[in-house]
């Protein structure tokens, strides 16, 4: 019996030793991974769209990131948006290093940072990317949520993968959902599975009493951005340029010429300057995109038993790529290719929110003019849906066209003798200058600048008018700028070469005294 016991004890000892070595190696691997999780400190000073020549008070923002190949740090775009000073810090270190943005995709809410001091990357390893896990598989989120300085590690289960609206830029892309909250500071941190990055923590869902629901940017979106970043030129996700609606109504399906067993998405609009205009037309039924069958609810089966919006297939391509499509027209089936183009700034008359750029503005006779965009609308705060002017909100549902690509707003009036009678006018959308329709903000400013009329007449869609004396406006402009402490009468680069010529209304020409 004793002879048998000795080999058993020996085997047990070897098993304990192996287990100890494996545990030690596993702990070492986890610690090495932690060294590649970065805390990001951003000083952000966003423009004040109520006073477009000024900045809002700077804010201190913190976020998370991960070291990836090429001595880069992958994080969220909203962590560094409008950032004027960025620092990064490794896990377990007290020292902070200066960082800068190398590439940013606000649509995908992703950014790549780099650190010029290469010593920062010592003792870190570049994390690699893995495939998106299956539903109900466990993932781990690494980051630095507010409320402490140390690294936080939370676990959750992948519960859903489908298209969602990204809160940062209101884009509509694939996103993963996990049953773990993404708290402020966690943003930009990696979602890890089997030691590899399978997502980037992005936002949380606080609506309708939802608890512990977080969203992350999945590998398909990350891969697209990394490919786009290779040449350093941001092209973003291409557009198809067609607006569709579901075909779940049997009557609508029959009217569209489909058989009972056919499904697809009804094309209701094709933008004339979009790539789809060469192939599709309103009334067509989009049956397939890149080989994926489109269901009546406009979804495709992108993975077995998992469905999402058919734009997923478009999002896998880049600008200039040919996209195979199959569609029905008047009962006939066609197979064509659409060469995808870059998405324009906006298809709406109200351009989406922009970051890392200064607002455009133009001042004439003390009237401050700006283009209508989401940056301006969101200056009404978190409740902008109910607080912003109703005309602004209504305009969000209007499509742009070659004839009218942008709306111009008389934001406010800086009281002066030249604008007497209009001192309480604000948030006024105008449509014409001296009878000339306004196409966009650039053209509007050029119309104002080039006018040789004695009076400038501005008119809105309802026929209301504002008339300004041209000579008085030019004469009083310098004093208006000085009185209200405005450095320039228009935003930098608004007129291009025209802005470089000598101007008689520069701030430096203003006389002394106040407007009477």
pLDDT digits (tens, 9 = 90+) for 24-51: 445 667 788 999 999 999 999 999 999 9
What is the per-residue pLDDT for 15?
Answer: 57
Q: Which of 345, 399, 374 is nearest to 234 (CA)?
A: 345
187 in catalytic set: yes
**Residue 464's pLDDT is what?**
98
Lowest mean per-residue pLDDT among 146-155, 386-395, 463-472: 146-155
- Do the domain assignments include residue 27? no
Rounded to 5, what percent of the chain is helix, strand, coil? 25, 35, 40
Tell me if 285 is assigned to some domain: yes
Catalytic residue among 36, 64, 187, 348: 187
**Domains: count for the chain:** 4
Per-residue pLDDT at 22: 45
Radius of gyration of the chain (CA): 28
- C-alpha to C-alpha distance for 353 and 391, rounded to whole angstroms: 18
Q: For residues 391 and 477, state if they share a domain.
A: yes
Split at pLDDT 50, 70, 90, the class of 210 is low
Model pLDDT, residue 37: 96
The last residue of one of the domains, among 196, 231, 266, is 231
Q: Which of 70-79, 208-217, 287-296 has the lowest mean pLDDT?
A: 208-217
* Residue 263 DSSP SS3: coil
Instruction: Please check the confidence at residue 224 and state whether its pLDDT lies above 80.
Output: yes
273 catalytic residue (yes or no): no
Contacts of 475 (CB under 8 A, 6+ apart): 418
**Which pLDDT belongs to residue 279?**
97
**Percent of the chain predicted with pLDDT > 70:** 89
Q: Does residue 432 have an active-site annotation?
A: no
Alpha carbon distances (Å) from 11 to 3, 17, 306, 425, 426: 13, 10, 48, 89, 85
Please list the residues that pair with 196 across neighbouring strands. Answer: 193
Average pLDDT over residues 257-262: 90
pLDDT at 262: 92
- C-alpha distances in Å from residue 500, one per residue of 358, 364, 370, 506: 19, 18, 21, 12
> pLDDT tens, 420-447?
999 999 999 999 999 999 999 999 999 9
Catalytic residue (one of 36, 62, 64, 78): 78
How much is the pLDDT for 502? 41
| More confidently predicted of 430 and 146 | 430
pLDDT tier at 244, thresholds 50, 70, 90: very high
**Res. 7 pLDDT band, cuts 50 70 90:** low
* pLDDT above 50: residue 501: no
Question: Which whole number is the average pLDDT over 337-360?
Answer: 94
Structure confidence at residue 123 (pLDDT): 87
In angstroms, the first-to-last Cα distance of the chain is 112
Query: Average of pLDDT values for 242-265?
Result: 94
> What is the CATH number for 169?
2.40.10.10
284 and 170 belong to one structural domain? no
Residues 102 and 68 in one domain: yes
Catalytic site residue from 36, 105, 106, 109: 109
The token pair that represents 262 in the structure block: 């056919």
Q: Is residue 5 part of a domain?
A: no
Q: What is the mean pLDDT of residues 121-126?
A: 92
In the three-class reduction of DSSP (H, G, I as helix; E, B as strand; rest coil), residue 490 is classed as strand
292 in the same domain as 220? no
104-129 average pLDDT score: 96
Average pLDDT over residues 398-409: 94
Which residues neighbour 93 within 8 Å (Cβ) at sequence distance 6 or greater?
Answer: none
Q: Are residues 479 and 371 in the same domain?
A: yes
Q: What integer pLDDT is reported at residue 147 of this predicted model?
A: 76
Report which of residues 31 and 456 the model is more confident about: 456
Q: Render pLDDT for 61-107 as a digit per residue (tens, 0 to 9).
A: 999 999 999 999 999 999 999 999 999 999 989 999 999 999 999 99
Domain end marker among 210, 231, 252: 231
At residue 306, the pLDDT reads 96
Residues 263 and 317 in one domain: yes
255 lies in a domain? yes
Domain that holds residue 449: 362-509
Per-residue pLDDT tens over the stretch 158-169: 999 999 999 999
């Amino acid at each position: 019996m004793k002879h048998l016991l000795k080999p058993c004890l020996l085997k047990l000892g070897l098993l304990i030793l192996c287990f100890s070595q494996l545990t030690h190696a596993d702990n070492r691997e986890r610690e090495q991974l932690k060294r590649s999780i970065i805390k990001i400190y951003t000083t952000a000073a966003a423009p004040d769209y109520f006073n477009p020549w000024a900045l809002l008070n700077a804010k201190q923002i913190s976020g998370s990131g991960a070291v990836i190949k090429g001595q880069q740090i992958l994080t969220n775009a909203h962590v560094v948006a409008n950032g004027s000073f960025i620092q990064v810090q490794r896990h377990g270190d007290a020292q902070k290093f200066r960082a800068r943005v190398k590439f940013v995709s606000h649509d995908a809410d992703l950014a790549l940072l780099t650190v010029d001091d290469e010593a920062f990357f010592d003792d870190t390893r570049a994390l690699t990317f893995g495939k998106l896990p299956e539903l109900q598989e466990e993932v781990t989120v690494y980051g630095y949520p507010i409320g402490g300085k140390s690294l936080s590690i939370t676990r959750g289960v992948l519960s859903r993968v489908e298209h969602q609206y990204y809160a940062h830029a209101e884009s509509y892309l694939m996103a993963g959902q996990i049953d773990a909250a993404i708290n402020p500071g966690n943003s930009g941190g990696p979602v890890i599975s089997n030691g590899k990055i399978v997502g980037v923590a992005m936002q949380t869902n606080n609506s309708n009493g939802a608890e512990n629901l977080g969203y992350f940017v999945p590998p398909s979106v990350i891969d697209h951005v990394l490919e786009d970043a290779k040449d350093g030129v941001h092209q973003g996700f291409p557009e198809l340029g067609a607006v569709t609606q579901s075909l779940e109504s049997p009557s609508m399906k029959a009217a569209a010429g489909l058989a009972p067993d056919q499904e697809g998405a009804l094309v209701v609009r094709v933008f004339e300057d979009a790539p789809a205009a060469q192939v599709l037309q309103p009334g067509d039924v989009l049956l397939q995109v890149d080989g994926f069958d489109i269901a009546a609810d406009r979804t495709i089966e992108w993975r077995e038993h998992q469905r999402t919006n058919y734009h997923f297939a478009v999002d896998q391509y880049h600008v200039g790529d040919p996209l195979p499509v199959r569609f029905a027209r008047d009962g006939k089936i066609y197979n064509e290719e659409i060469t995808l183009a870059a998405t324009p700034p906006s298809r709406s008359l109200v351009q989406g929110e922009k970051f890392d750029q200064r607002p455009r503005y133009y001042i004439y006779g003390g009237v401050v003019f700006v283009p209508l965009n989401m940056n301006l609308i969101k200056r009404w705060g978190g409740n902008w849906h109910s607080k912003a002017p109703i005309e602004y909100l209504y305009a969000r549902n209007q499509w742009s066209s070659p004839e009218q690509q942008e709306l111009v707003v008389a934001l406010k009036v800086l009281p002066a003798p030249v604008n007497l009678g209009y001192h309480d006018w604000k948030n006024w959308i105008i449509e014409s200058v001296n009878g000339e329709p306004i196409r966009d903000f650039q053209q509007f400013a050029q119309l104002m600048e080039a006018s040789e009329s004695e009076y400038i007449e501005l008119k809105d869609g309802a026929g209301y008018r504002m008339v300004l004396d041209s000579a008085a406006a030019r004469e009083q402009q310098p004093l208006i700028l000085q009185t209200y402490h405005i450095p320039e009468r228009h935003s930098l680069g608004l007129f291009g070469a025209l802005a470089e010529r000598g101007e008689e209304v520069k701030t430096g020409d203003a006389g002394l005294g106040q407007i009477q």
